[in-house]
Structure 1
Amino acid sequence: VMPQLGVAYTPTPKLSEAAEDAPLKELAEAEPRDVPSAFAEMFAPKPLDVAFASDATAKAAGVAKVTAEKATTTTTATATATTTQAEAVAAAPAYTPSFKSGSESEGKQRTWTVTWTEVMDNGATKVVTRTRGVTADGSVEFEETTWEASDAFSFKQLGAIKLGRTSSGAAWRESWCETLDTDADSGVAGAMKVHREAEKWGSAGAGGREWYETWRQTDHSDGRCIRSAYKMGKLADGEHAEYGHANEWHEKWGEEWPRECGPNGAFKWFDRWANTHGEGARKWGESWEEKHGLYAPDGLAARRMGEAWEADCWGNETYKKTWGESHFDGGVHKYGGDTRGAGWDVTEGSGEHPWYEGRPHHGGWQGALNHSPFLLGVERRGDRLRDATGSGGGGWDAL
């Protein structure tokens, strides 16, 4: 049974490569404020259970146990209880270990590494390397998984996941992934896209300080770019926040640009909120959005609007302020007000429109490719055809 975060324990100096990564689907469907707790449950390292050369008997037994478990879990639905281990492995080409190795570094740490090749759902071939380890004193366990994947057509992917925990209950996880693939949603033959995402999470243990952040960006070969981020942090349970500061805070933002050969424009939004705990607890936040050019509604050149609010610990709103600006040829309409009686609604003549970043600072599609030399360098592999929703071919001509 995996030790719970925040409960002191002494890690065993034993290692195993048989740790399946939990699916990300639950995180994708979780509300933002639920994500950190989901990470705590899903990505804390599994107990390590294969010994080293210092315990040769246990090591041999552990490796045999892991191999047998893999053979059992990878048998096909038609395999019977009498299927031999060799037959089971042969029937499951999606998981093919290519080597295993264990090492001991005197006075430092022990590690166990395994590399295997598997076939992804889209038919691409994926080469994975996983290293698990524990420090010499057993106080820190860690795991690192890296992979690269590609098919015979246009799909390429690089990624990594690092996680660990300490005997005091602290835990952490970080991951990143970048993918080059055909842009099936564009409806244009040969269209491509590069998607990048990264996540970090850390916790001092159950009830302790915690933080989380994630970032995503997709660049399309026609110049479109969409990116967003979310961050949160919180103090330990019962920890008193300094005056003017919060016990828990959240922040989200997003940006979007249109294709390069069409009308110009940009869309940006921002949202953050925080709250304190205990006697006199309160909540507050603010949000705004800017729509320029192509994204501006009703034929406007630009529209900017936002709000700020405060509430008590029961969620009753105690203050709210809203504001907006509608820019059109020849002027700007400014309006707003708050719950304390302030208000304004004026139109000013001006021939100038607000400045905005017309293109992403990294340089659009060509910049995305320039930022991904290792991704582009992944060797094409495999002769499997892509499925109907992601058929390959032709996409590489775009590069």
Structure 2
Amino acid sequence: MAANLTVPPSFGLPPSNVRRKILIRSSDCMIKCCCSGKTIRIRKIGHGSGRKVRIQAAPALPFASSQSLMSSRQEKFFPRCTPKNSGPQFRDTPPKRDTGIANEKDWGISLNEHVNESGVNVDGSTWYRESGEDFGENGLRCRWTKMGGQSHDGLSEWKETWWEKSDWSGYKELGVEKSGRNSEGDSWWETWREVLYQDEWSNLARIERSAQKQAKSGVENAGWYENWWEKYDAKGWTEKGAHKYGRLNEQSWWEKWGEHYDGRGSVLKWTDKWAETELGTRWGDKWEEKFFAGIGSRQGETWHVSPAGEHWSRTWGEEHFGNGKVHKYGKSTAGESWDIVVDEETYYEAEPHYGWADVVGDSSQLLSIQPQEKPPGVYPYFDFGSTASPTLPKDDDDDDDDPSPP
């Protein structure tokens, strides 16, 4: 299967462009985050802390391709549920790259009651579907459904596990894990998890979502890995981030970014991306911004190293004083330098595009999970660490089949 990945170009973005733009990434669940993929301009409306903003799209800064690393004959997974008394359809398509954390409705989690069935399809492939319910301390209840199958020759295989969990402390969890391989030797694994709990320090409700995805090519030295996370609380505290890695034969690249909103107007955003080839060429770009009530700073660096060891870099910074004055400074190894104070509006985001109200509205299945009935006089203890990982059935050969990060 042919790889379809574009290696990122050099990040020679002039400081005049870098200074005024915030990189935002838009995922499948409509979360707009500070990452590559779309460059937007944030313009403050009116006066004050800068909480009201206007967003205007601008050309994107290329880094890694948004296309799938290993494109397949099929663009999407087959439907996850099939008519009664028929087996689940075969999946042989790796997950797509750069999709972030999808909403729970896009995963189609449907937990079957007391199912234990298997069969053989017309083409000779086999399938199975099982469900169960496990119980633990503190009223822990875990409902799960497993399904999977193999091609007639055993070269292709897929597995999926869906689950929901709850306990007497109010903890709720919804999740899915998938893995597979196809006849071309491609292998993949992904998991998604969404949890609700009460923070033991602030006593505030929190919702956290995470996703990990990885895939390997069976015909090339190629693969990719992504780790995404989002955290929200009922007072507006929000944290989002992602770590990504990819490789295509002699070329590799990495990307990390993060956002943090304290719910009171303070915001921190950063991103760091770099790439290299086996010949010794390396390049990268990074920036960071911190703001509160119109006062803050930005700084960044773009750099490049040649195979001969020649190094070029440009660093830049901004200090925003909140009175319409901005101190701009920077220099490069090519002899550029500037240090000026200008009259300029301050552009930044004080609140996330996707926050607590949005995630609550998109978590109806998580919120509807019903815990076991608590006996009179029983008080739950709060130990979220013991319930963070689902108690799920494990196949004997899982360790051999699940691919490792590339």
Q: TM-score, normalised by structure 1?
A: 0.62
> How many angstroms does 1:111 deviate by?
1.3
> How many angstroms does 1:248 deviate by?
1.2
Distance 1:199 1:284 in 2: 26
Write out per-residue CA displacement over residues 6-64 of structure 1, whole angstroms, 9 at most, x where no aligned residue: xxxxxxxxxxxxxxxxxxxxxxxxxxxxxxxxxxxxxxxxxxxxxxxxxxxxxxxxxxx
Matches within 5 A, 1:196-235: 196-205=209-218, 208-235=221-248
Query: 2:275 aligns to what?
Result: 274
Query: 2:321 aligns to what?
Result: 328
Taking only aligned residues, the RMSD between alpha carbons, in angstroms, comes to 2.5
> How many angstroms does 1:370 deviate by?
0.2
> How many angstroms does 1:371 deviate by?
1.1
Query: 2:198 aligns to what?
Result: 182
Match of 1:155 among 162, 166, 171: 171
> How many angstroms does 1:165 deviate by?
1.1
Write out per-residue CA displacement over residues 334-376 of structure 1, whole angstroms, 9 at most, x where no aligned residue: 11111222111112244x3x222222112x2121100111111
Equivalent residues of 1:125, 1:382 under 8 A apart: no
Distance 1:275 1:252 in 2: 15
Equivalent residues of 2:141, 2:371 under 8 A apart: no
Distance 1:385 1:270 in 2: 44
Q: Which amino acid aligns with 1:325?
A: E
Match of 1:303 among 297, 302, 306: 297
Distance 2:137 2:245 in 1: 33
Distance 1:283 1:382 in 2: 58
Distance 2:333 2:135 in 1: 59
Segments ≥4 residues shifted beyond 6 Å: none
SS at structure 2 position matched to 1:369: helix
Equivalent residues of 1:122, 1:390 under 8 A apart: no
Equivalent residues of 1:124, 1:382 under 8 A apart: no
Structure 2 residue 353 is the aligned partner of structure 1 residue 339: no
Distance 2:220 2:318 in 1: 44
Q: Which amino acid aligns with 1:195?
A: E
SS at structure 2 position matched to 1:139: coil
Q: Which has the higher contact order (CA 8 A, sep 6+)?
A: 2
Q: Which amino acid aligns with 2:159?
A: E
Write out per-residue CA displacement over residues 185-214 of structure 1, whole angstroms, 9 at most, x where no aligned residue: xx333x110000111111113852111222
Distance 1:375 1:180 in 2: 8
Write out per-residue CA displacement over residues 265-298 of structure 1, whole angstroms, 9 at most, x where no aligned residue: 32211110001123xx31110100111116xxxx
Q: Which amino acid aligns with 1:347?
A: V
SS at structure 1 position matched to 2:311: strand
Distance 1:158 1:102 in 2: 25
Distance 1:317 1:148 in 2: 54
Structure 2 CA distance for partners of 1:155 and 1:171, relative to 1, 3 Å: same
Query: 2:110 aligns to what?
Result: none
Q: TM-score, normalised by structure 2?
A: 0.61
Distance 2:381 2:296 in 1: 42
> How many angstroms does 1:119 deviate by?
4.1
Write out per-residue CA displacement over residues 95-154 of structure 1, whole angstroms, 9 at most, x where no aligned residue: xx9653222222253112332333467752111222121023433111101100011341
Query: 1:77 aligns to what?
Result: none
Structure 2 CA distance for partners of 1:154 and 1:293, relative to 1, 3 Å: same
SS at structure 2 position matched to 1:367: helix
Structure 2 CA distance for partners of 1:162 and 1:368, relative to 1, 3 Å: same
Equivalent residues of 2:168, 2:380 under 8 A apart: no
Structure 2 residue 249 is the aligned partner of structure 1 residue 255: no
Structure 2 residue 374 is the aligned partner of structure 1 residue 361: no
Matches within 5 A, 1:1-399: 100-107=116-123, 109-119=125-135, 124-184=140-200, 187-189=201-203, 191-205=204-218, 208-236=221-249, 247-259=251-263, 262=264, 264-278=265-279, 281-293=280-292, 301-313=295-307, 316=309, 318-330=311-323, 331-350=325-344, 352=345, 354-362=346-354, 364-381=355-372, 383=374, 386-390=380-384
Equivalent residues of 1:124, 1:155 under 8 A apart: no
Q: Which amino acid aligns with 1:175?
A: T
Q: Which amino acid aligns with 1:188?
A: S
Q: How many residues of Structure 1 are paired with residues of Structure 2 in the alignment?
A: 269
Query: 1:44 aligns to what?
Result: none
> How many angstroms does 1:333 deviate by?
0.8
Equivalent residues of 1:309, 1:317 under 8 A apart: no
Distance 1:121 1:218 in 2: 26
- Flag structure 1 segments of 5+ consecutive residues without an equivalent: 1-96, 238-246, 295-299, 392-399
Distance 2:192 2:126 in 1: 25
Query: 1:39 aligns to what?
Result: none
> How many angstroms does 1:302 deviate by?
1.7
Distance 2:188 2:337 in 1: 48
Distance 2:379 2:145 in 1: 25
Equivalent residues of 2:138, 2:168 under 8 A apart: no
